[in-house]
Amino acid sequence: MSIKERLSGNEAVAYAMKQINPDVVPVYPITPSTEIPQYFSSFVANGTVDTEFVPVESEHSAMSAAIGASAAGARVMSATSSQGLALMYEMLYIASGMRLPIVLTCVNRAISAPINIHNDHSDSMGARDCGFIQLYCETNQEAYDNIIMAVKIAELAKLPVMVCYDGFITSHSVENIELLEDEKVKAFVGEYTPEHYLLNPDEHVSMGPLDLQNYFFEHRKQLADAMTNAKEIIAKVSKEFGDISGRYYDAFESYKLDDAEYGLVVLNSTAGTAKTVVDKLRDKGIKVGLLKPRMFRPMPHKELAESLKHLEAVAVMDKADSVNAMSGPVYTELVTALHKHDVHIPVSNYIYGLGGRDVKATDIEKVFRDILAAKDNKENLNGTFYLGVRE
Amino acid sequence: MIEIRWHGRGGQGAKTASLLLADVAFNTGKYIQGFPEYGPERMGAPLTAYNRIDDEPIRIHSNIYEPNYVVVVDDTLVGPVDVCKGIDPNGAILINSSLEPSVIKEKLKDVNVKIYVIDASKIALETIGANFPNTALLAAIIKVTGLMSKEDLEKNMLDSFKHKFAKKPEVIEPNMEAVRRAYDEVKEV
């Protein structure tokens, strides 16, 4: 029997961390992720968990301490947002390059300047090539579920995992959630038994030494292979999680997409709003559907192409801008995936909601109307638009 | 689905009230959302908070532009803020105010929805002994929306207060008195 509760996204993640009881949590607070260490530190203070909580002096130190603890053989979790993730940047590559299964919650927030505390995906998208697995979440429920799965995925894939969800919209909004019993979560994540670790007296290993022309390339290829192999690991762990929770997760969620003529691709909380728009347009007989990526790293390119190839046109919504005079990151990667698998359909790009600009159902309806109209107006296809921006 | 928008000022507890309402509705088996619109967080600055309450899971994640109900925690916001913007013509507005009904009616003369008034601050001062109008406003909006009967509300709030005030049980009864009074005293003008 699951436990019916009402929690904010941050409360849900702190609760999952309590159930996981990681060995070490080094963390530095930053809005809107601050409540995670805040709530978790109370679990530490009252003895509910026996985690070593390390309140460091910066996010760079948080990730550095996470790397040290993980290399020593500990199960490690942390959380951050925005500038905090940016300050960790140097160490993110070291975590993945050393193949350390650290689980990091990234509560998505815009990156300065101008300074802004609200949600977009500039932080995690900026770190998309750092070798972390990235899982994106629509709701507090998905944040809770993905955090629990992330521990197992990270340890099996020997890769760090970043679980991303929308600042304030998901992190601070109280919604219904179903929690698993403590013993179910504990049994699911199990004891962490690292294969190689620094505090093993029976095996002397070096981690992170100088690695020049002779081996560096091979190690990077191993990292690339690990990310490719992570797809199957994520599928396996997600299936196991579905078996204990009744909630099954794929690489992405397809919503009314199979018989759709026009599709929308969007991450995180906006996907929920988009589902209501899909339903509304469906009621009017307009065949639209939605694809919500959960896995962005590794990229499920083949499956994405397979799911979208029957569409007349697709709109990809990006809550981050690559500032590359071309398109946003989800668009760029999705078009690459389609091309790679010989799917040639029109795809337009909508940069939206930067800095927390609210995304209304009518905004999403406009995107659908645009691509529906574009079949008679080809010049609008394949364009990049800034949804609702004032000019 | 019922959509409610709260207008208050930083420090007056509109956010807490929206979370409390979410809590109460959750306890009756509803699907809920309770969220504030975070701004500069200045004491006294106008802010909004929101609730969605439904029998089905709620998927939409935007602010609320066409609320069924509006709650105004501070009557000085009426005028400077277009508190009724987008309100459902069949909905209602609830105002915490000690002003005469005729004055409130005049302030909202362009509004074509039902107007309810509660002097939640007075009730709070007389029961809890401090200007925490949340509890009274919560009871009043529950009556206005018809979300639950007085009996169910009392039972629900008692459970919630027992949990919330576990360490200071002496404030439970004053808060319950505020609930009962507000439920009875809220009136249409």
Using the predicted structure, report yes or no on whether residue A329 has a pLDDT greater than 70.
Answer: yes
State yes or no: pLDDT of B55 exceeds 80.
yes
Rounded average pLDDT over B156-167: 87
Which of A210, A245, A280 is the endpoint of a domain? Answer: A245
| CATH number assigned to the domain comprising residue A106 | 3.40.50.970
Does residue A238 sit in the same domain as residue A260? no
What residue numbers bound the domain in which A240 lies?
Answer: 3-245
Neighbours of B139 (CB within 10 A): 29
CATH number of B2-188: 3.40.920.10
**Do residues A299 and A365 both lie within one domain?**
yes
- Is the pLDDT reported for residue B150 higher than 80? yes
Both A220 and A269 in one domain: the answer is: no
Contacts of A269 in chain B (CB under 8 A): 61
Contact state of B35 with A272 under an 8 Å Cβ cutoff: no
pLDDT of residue B110: 86
Q: pLDDT band for position B147 (50/70/90)?
A: very high
| Alpha carbon distance A318, B37 (integer Å) | 22
pLDDT band at B182 (very low <50, low <70, confident <90, very high): very high
Which of A282-291, B9-18, B41-50, B103-112 has the highest average model confidence (pLDDT)? A282-291
Same domain, A234 and A271: no
The answer as to whether A220 is a domain residue is yes
A3, A4, A5, A6, best to mutate vs chain B, most B CBs in 10 Å: A6
How far is Cα A105 from Cα A175, in angstroms, rounded to an integer?
19
- Which range has the top average pLDDT, A1-10, A101-110, A371-380? A101-110
What is the length of chain B? 189
Q: At residue B13, does pLDDT exceed 90?
A: no
Answer yes or no: do A188 and A105 share one domain: yes
Q: Does A272 touch chain B (CB under 8 A)?
A: yes
Per domain, the residue ranges of chain B are 2-188
> Are residues A308 and A239 located together in one domain of the fold?
no
Q: How confident is the model at residue A390 (pLDDT cuts 50, 70, 90)?
A: very high
| Other Cβ atoms closer than 10 A to A316 | 28
Cβ-Cβ pairs closer than 8 A, A with B, add up to: 55
**Binning pLDDT at 50, 70 and 90, where does residue B132 land?**
confident
Give the tokens for residue A245. 């929770």
pTM: 0.96
Question: Of A245, A262, A280, which residue is a domain's last?
Answer: A245
Same domain, A85 and A50: yes
Task: Compute the distance between CA of residue A129 and CA of residue A112 in angstroms, rounded to an integer.
Answer: 20
* pLDDT tens string A135-180: 999 999 999 999 999 999 999 999 999 999 999 999 999 999 999 9
- Residue A218: pLDDT band (50, 70, 90) is very high
Nearest to A272 among B23, B26, B61 (CB): B61
Chain B residue numbers touching A6 (CB-CB < 8 A): 22-23, 26, 32
ipTM for the assembly: 0.93
Closest chain B C-alpha to A339 CA, distance in angstroms:
32
Are A172 and B61 an interchain contact pair (Cβ–Cβ within 8 Å)? no
> Has residue A377 got a pLDDT over 80?
no
Same domain, A261 and A160: no
**Range A317-321 average pLDDT:** 98
- A31, closest residue in chain B (CA to CA): B38
Residues A50 and A154 in one domain: yes
Q: Do B26 and A172 touch (CB under 8 A)?
A: no
Number of structural domains found in chain A: 2
Q: Is the distance from CB of B9 to CB of B74 less than 8 angstroms?
A: yes
Q: What is the number of other CB atoms lying within 10 angstroms of the CB of residue B89?
A: 6
Determine whether the interchain pair A176/B63 forms a contact, defined as Cβ–Cβ distance below 8 Å: no
Instruction: State how far the Cα of A350 lies from the Cα of A217, in Å rounded to an integer.
Output: 37
* Backbone phi and psi for residue A364, each to the nearest 5 degrees, phi listed first: -70, -35
Contacts of B19 in chain A (CB under 8 A): 174
Which of A231, A167, A194 has its CA nearest to residue A36? Answer: A167
Instruction: List, for residues B71-93, the tens digit of each pLDDT value.
Output: 999 999 999 999 999 999 999 99
What's the number of CA atoms in the CB half-sphere (13 Å) around residue A24?
Answer: 20
Is residue A308 in a domain? yes
The reply to whether A276 touches chain B by the CB within 8 Å rule is: yes
Residues A125 and A184 occupy one common structural domain: yes
Q: Indicate the residue among A245, A262, A297 that finishes a domain.
A: A245
Query: Rounded mean pLDDT of chain A?
Result: 97
B19–A174 CB contact, under 8 Å: yes
Residue A380: pLDDT over 80? no
